[in-house]
Amino acid sequence: MISGAHLVRRFFQSLVDRGPDPTEEAWLLGLLTQSEADLYQQMSAADRRHALRSAECPALVNDAQRVAAALHDVGKARSGLGTLGRVGATLGGIAAPGRLRGRWADYRDHPRLGATMLREADSADQTVVWAAEHHLPLSECSLPRDVAAALAAAD
């Protein structure tokens, strides 16, 4: 589940992120199918850095989990929002849920959009489900508890 601390940390990371290290990125791309790699490449540099940092989390025990961790936020690529637009979408969604429109609504809806993109890319069920459910409380996630806990630790 997303927390205020998580949002603040991600905001400040996004200000200083220059994008992923090419060597680490090559490692991650080696775990993805071609269609997953195409989706990954649609993400902003800051989001790819977050994807890589997530995939490298030591709590993950296999490559299937690393792929799910890497692609959980891929739906954000659809909104095309920059850092300030994301802050607006996040705060607007808290203040007036259900009233966001356009790219702001797409940003808030990135779990569902990402899951659809990954399903269309023939990703594994675990990858699709984690994208769809990564903002839910762990108790509501339909993945096995230990898997959901590892993926949440990686986010």
Query: Cβ of residue 75: shortest distance to Fe ion, in angstroms?
Result: 8
With tokens 């989706």, the residue in question is 39
- Mask: binding to Fe ion, 51-90, rule CB under 5 A, as x and -? ----------------------x-----------------
29-37's contacts with Cβ under 8 Å and 24+ in sequence apart are: 31/55, 31/63, 31/66, 31/67, 31/70, 32/67, 32/70, 32/71, 33/121, 33/122, 33/123, 35/121, 35/122, 35/123, 36/67, 36/71, 36/118, 36/121, 36/123, 36/127
Contact 77, 43 (CB under 8 A): yes
Residue 70 and residue 77: Cα distance in Å, rounded?
13
Residue with Cβ nearer Fe ion (47 or 121): 47
Q: Does 133 bind Fe ion (CB under 5 A)?
A: no
Among 36, 47, 133, 155, binds Fe ion (CB under 5 A): 155
Query: Cβ of residue 38: shortest distance to Fe ion, in angstroms?
Result: 20
Query: Cβ of residue 70: shortest distance to Fe ion, in angstroms?
Result: 10
Size of the site for Fe ion (CB under 5 A): 2
Query: Cβ of residue 111: shortest distance to Fe ion, in angstroms?
Result: 6
Residue with Cβ nearer Fe ion (61 or 153): 153
- Contact residues for Fe ion, defined by CB under 5 A: 73, 155
